[in-house]
Structure 1
């Protein structure tokens, strides 16, 4: 098979996944469709190295992970998050619930290493799943390497419908209060609600640099340099404490944005985000080449068990903390569920629910101001930040 034919085939699979997700309004996750098509391909006519053949060897994927995680760090702004402190606590409580039930119960049922591999992808998404999959592979745990990817692929089936159900209940309650005059227009935090699209702040360290010199290459250079610093610090600290360079990438990305070395969404500004995501998505499905039908059946039981226990843990902990903070149980659970999918699914699901509840634009505005900011922040905290930190820690347990 030629390189370009391999590239056409694997990108076509990603496109088909997107089409199905759009048609079903994300009820059928794109990653699930893509994973099924990759499995069918591997079990029939795909060469086992089709992803590498298409131009995505492991070294390229590793480069993209460094760039993407550092880019994630530029999304964090303490100013934007402090007004949603309740949401942050609830999101962390939901994650604590996942960890508590999986370690407290799941370890005795499925084994310690299975739970270690399961938690970061269950809390997060693409990057954490990749970290755990590669860590399991290097530890010689082939089945668990595949398990990390499969749990990432499947968790949306629990997250999407449950989120839709609880958000509809929350929305109906809000509409009832609004129509009876008990609820007014919330003071929506526009910066938080627009987490994914806000304009970057001025580059303090380069304020005298003419815009014409802030080229795509200069953006990539600064992004790569921050990733390099994370790698160097991780290497220097290794004799003392083993910290994943990916965790440091996230931290250094936050610092680099705060001091004005990197702008927000720097990878998008450098026109590199799309290709980076495509490369990582292809690399995510590469471990499925090792998945036999027997292996899929073998991991089915722990897969379902871990997702069920994780969701129960989310509900219990988010319910308790929500009660303490005065947040409804429906909104608390919805915020914690964002860990199962993150952005942009949290945005899509929330908007779909709002549109299904009312056609009145004023009522839609009220629901949006109350429901969207917590959903965006919840997904950002769990998927973007905590999952990467957990993956960096847990991979050392394998």
Structure 2
């Protein structure tokens, strides 16, 4: 297959996902449709390395991940991160719910090793899945080695539509309060804060380069500064590794926040450098590339434990996040949505949230209100669950095999 044909096919799938999401007003997320179509493609005529043929090898996807996460950090201020302590507690409670329910119920239906292998990939991303897969392989558990990968690959099929549903319900609740005037005071305060922040931003954004003529702030200069911040995050991660293992992607988020706060990066530099769309494209293709491992025979062999583990885990997640939401006075739907980010992480959390917001209203003020209330907790929740906690869990659970 030629490179351009591969590119056309994968782009057609992404576009088909967008069409369905628009037509269904995000009740069916684009990521879900794209994942199904990729799976069908791999089971029929797609070459296994179609994403690499199309021009997105893993090394490019990793580079885009560094840039995107650093870019996302510029959306969050230090003040905003401090406000998200409830989000962190809710995300952690959802993970506790998964662990408790799977050990309490899952070990009755399945064997202990199956539950141990399933938990880290279920609450995390590819790193935790690979750790458990390799651990199971070394322990001579070949089927569980595959099981760890498939859990990671298919968990999004449960997470995508559920997240879309609860976010739409939460968005309608917020809009109902706003339109009835019950959120008017808060909305006006938020708008005032946004205005003040915008004014402050104009004065402080890129204040380290305030004497630099605007004509020199080219797209390449934006890319350079973004890459430099990402590299510093990677460098600090490697320096800290002998003492404490911290994912460079977590540091990319934090460094993005700090770089924007001190005026080294503007808000959303990737968008301003006209590179955000391509970066999301490359990263989404890399995620769907993982579906090539899920063959039909493999899916049939582990179908029962896979469905059982995901259902039990999601129920546990819902119960514990609901309790945490009640205790912290956070909407149960928002709490559940934050916990669900464990099933997919970034960039799916960003894409689904934005799809839902666009489907709920055409009014820019209302969209801004929904974005301010729903996007920050979804992003923070995804980084806590997928990027941090899952890797820690994998390091602990692999010792049980």
How far off is 1:23 after superposition? 1.0
The 8 Å contact of residues 29 and 156 in structure 1, kept in 2 or not, is answered as yes
How far off is 1:106 after superposition? 1.6
SS across alignment from 2:274: coil
2: distance between equivalents of 1:185 and 1:26?
Answer: 27
Range moving further from structure 2, 161-170 or 60-69: 161-170
2: distance between equivalents of 1:230 and 1:372?
Answer: 27
Structure 2 vs 1, CA of residues 68 and 342 (structure 1 numbering), >3 Å: closer, same or farther?
same
The 8 Å contact of residues 98 and 309 in structure 1, kept in 2 or not, is answered as no
2: distance between equivalents of 1:369 and 1:39?
Answer: 35
TM-score, normalised to structure 2, is: 0.78
Q: Which position in structure 1 is the counterpart of 2:248?
A: 245
2: distance between equivalents of 1:224 and 1:13?
Answer: 30
Q: Pairwise mapping of residues 313-332 of structure 1 onto structure 2 (< 5 A)?
A: 313-327=316-330, 329=332
Q: Pairwise mapping of residues 249-398 of structure 1 onto structure 2 (< 5 A)?
A: 249-327=252-330, 329=332, 342-349=349-356, 352=359, 373-383=372-382, 387-391=386-390, 393-394=392-393, 396-397=395-396
Q: Pairwise mapping of residues 50-89 of structure 1 onto structure 2 (< 5 A)?
A: 50-80=50-80, 85=83, 88-89=84-85
Q: Which position in structure 2 is the counterpart of 1:220?
A: 223
Are 1:28 and 2:24 matched, yes or no? no
SS across alignment from 1:76: coil
SS across alignment from 1:187: helix
How far off is 1:333 after superposition? 5.1
2: distance between equivalents of 1:391 and 1:187?
Answer: 36
1: distance between equivalents of 2:184 and 2:294?
Answer: 51
Structure 2 vs 1, CA of residues 184 and 295 (structure 1 numbering), >3 Å: closer, same or farther?
closer
* Residues 233-276 of structure 1, C-alpha deviations (whole Å, 9 max, x = no match): 22222222222222222222222222221111111112111111
Q: Which position in structure 1 is the counterpart of 2:141?
A: none
2: distance between equivalents of 1:375 and 1:237?
Answer: 33
From 202, 206, 210, the equivalent of 2:209 is 206
Structure 2 vs 1, CA of residues 386 and 98 (structure 1 numbering), >3 Å: closer, same or farther?
closer
2: distance between equivalents of 1:134 and 1:72?
Answer: 25
How far off is 1:5 after superposition? 1.0
Range moving further from structure 2, 289-298 or 315-324: 315-324
The 8 Å contact of residues 101 and 310 in structure 1, kept in 2 or not, is answered as yes
Q: Which position in structure 2 is the counterpart of 1:39?
A: 39
* Residues 361-388 of structure 1, C-alpha deviations (whole Å, 9 max, x = no match): 9xx98x8898664323322321356543
Q: Which position in structure 1 is the counterpart of 2:15?
A: 15
2: distance between equivalents of 1:392 and 1:208?
Answer: 43
1: distance between equivalents of 2:53 and 2:119?
Answer: 33
Structure 2 vs 1, CA of residues 101 and 190 (structure 1 numbering), >3 Å: closer, same or farther?
same
Where does the alignment leave 5 or more consecutive residues of structure 2 unmatched? 138-144
* Residues 269-321 of structure 1, C-alpha deviations (whole Å, 9 max, x = no match): 12111111111111111121121113223454455445544544454444444
2: distance between equivalents of 1:68 and 1:234?
Answer: 17
The 8 Å contact of residues 20 and 33 in structure 1, kept in 2 or not, is answered as yes
Are 1:157 and 2:161 matched, yes or no? yes
Aligned length: 371
2: distance between equivalents of 1:20 and 1:193?
Answer: 33
From 78, 90, 115, the equivalent of 1:111 is 115
Range moving further from structure 2, 252-261 or 302-311: 302-311
